[in-house]
Amino acid sequence: MAIVHRTTMTPTKLEHLASWLPTQPWYLGTGRTPALSKSGGFRLDDPEGEVGIEFMVATDDSGDRPVSYHVPLSYRAAPLEGAEQGLIGTSEHGVLGQRWIYDGTHDPVLVAQLLELLQDRAEPQAQSLTDTPDPSVVVHFTGTGVAGGVLSTTVTNGPHDTRLTVDTAASAPARRLVLQVKRVLQPGDTSPADASGHVTAGWRSPDGGENRAVFALLHDTDS
């Protein structure tokens, strides 16, 4: 169970994201600094209790219309070896001390738990409350499931999403899956017919409106 501390982070998550988002190929703004607000999201628990896992919606209101981005984040007490390209920054947490903040698509713990979620085997948690399930996060899974863990992940960024090609340690036989993480959220977005699993969640518009869309999908592929 992850404990959500009501404390400060310096710099804040949004301050880090304001610098990091414009460097991503799926960021739609050009030539301006994002004006970000946290507008939704949820958490997952790390079974080992070591890594913080958050799926944040950050809405950029700097352009002609608001754009909401889905940013999976992981929080660690020490650098993650081999994940330098996924490092967003470091912050001083008011309770836990220095934390390394990663784009979670590069963190094997977050990827493994996202795979569990997409197979309806992990319970989404409220973004800002300890030990509180979030029933508004809904999982649809029609596949056969993967019995083992994650062996390796290849991260590929596109103009609207990030695709994680995951080799699993499932027995008889090992399988290769694709986890598609939506980055630019579109209200009302639905799952394509070829997805074996997907998760939908909500977020708020700057005007107070409520939105829902697909946050992530699971696809089978040939090994």
34-81 pLDDT, tens per residue?
999 999 999 999 999 999 999 999 999 998 999 999 999 999 999 999
Evaluate whether 200 touches 215 at the Cβ level (below 8 Å).
Answer: yes
Can you give the residue ranges of every domain in the chain? Answer: 9-221
- Tell me the torsion sign for CA atoms 78, 82, 84, 85: negative
Specify the pTM: 0.93
At residue 111, φ and ψ (nearest 5 deg) are -60, -45
Q: Say whether 172 sits in a helix, a strand or coil.
A: coil
Tell me, what's the pLDDT at 223?
A: 40
| Residue 54 structure tokens | 């958050």
Q: Which residues, at least 6 apart from 11, have a Cβ–Cβ distance to it below 8 Å?
A: 89, 91
| pLDDT-above-70 percentage for the chain | 92
- How many angstroms separate the Cα of 216 from the Cα of each of 24, 25, 64, 70, 198? 18, 18, 27, 10, 6
Tell me, what's the pLDDT at 113?
A: 96
Arithmetic mean of pLDDT, 120-132: 91
Vertex 67: Cα angle to 53 and 157 (nearest 5): 55
Q: Say whether 118 sits in a helix, a strand or coil.
A: helix
Tell me, what's the pLDDT at 8?
A: 73
